[in-house]
Amino acid sequence: MPAKFRSPKDRRPVFSATALELFRQLEAEPKGRRNGPLFQAKARQLARELNLAREWWTGCSVLDRSSGPIHASPEYAEHHDWHRCRAVREQLLESIRAH
């Protein structure tokens, strides 16, 4: 009997409820309160939840709303870290919209 082959569906990342809620909270913070120690502690916690702690240490975050990386040159680790964080940010935003 022939097997049916189908192309795999795009898999959406699954984020924990904790990560989604923390992202929602931090995303809602006003710009002026984003540099405080409590905000930074929560941002670091979010990075750990998303397995982006290494990127957080290079100064990159899923909370970054800038249009591009600070270091435009691909020789810098931050360049690649920014793009990875941006991809996860877009997936987080999509997950929030879907719920």
For 64-82, the pLDDT digits (tens) are: 999 988 877 888 889 999 9
| Within a domain: 45 | yes
- Model pLDDT, residue 98: 87
| Within a domain: 9 | no
- Let me know: does 88 contact 49? Beta carbons within 8 Å: no
Distance CA 38, CA 44 (A): 10
Does 14 or 26 have the greater pLDDT score? 26
Domain count, the chain: 1
| Within a domain: 4 | no
- Is 0.85 surpassed by the pTM of this model? no
| Within a domain: 75 | yes
Element housing 75 (H / E) = none
Helix (H, G, I), strand (E, B) or coil at 99: coil
| Within a domain: 92 | yes
Element housing 17 (H / E) = helix 17-28
- Model pLDDT, residue 12: 62
Domain of residue 68 covers: 17-23+35-98
Q: Over 90: is that where the pLDDT of 28 sits?
A: yes
| Within a domain: 55 | yes
Amino acid type, 53: A
| Within a domain: 63 | yes
**Longest distance between any two alpha carbons in the chain, whole Å:** 65
| Averaged confidence pLDDT in the chain | 89
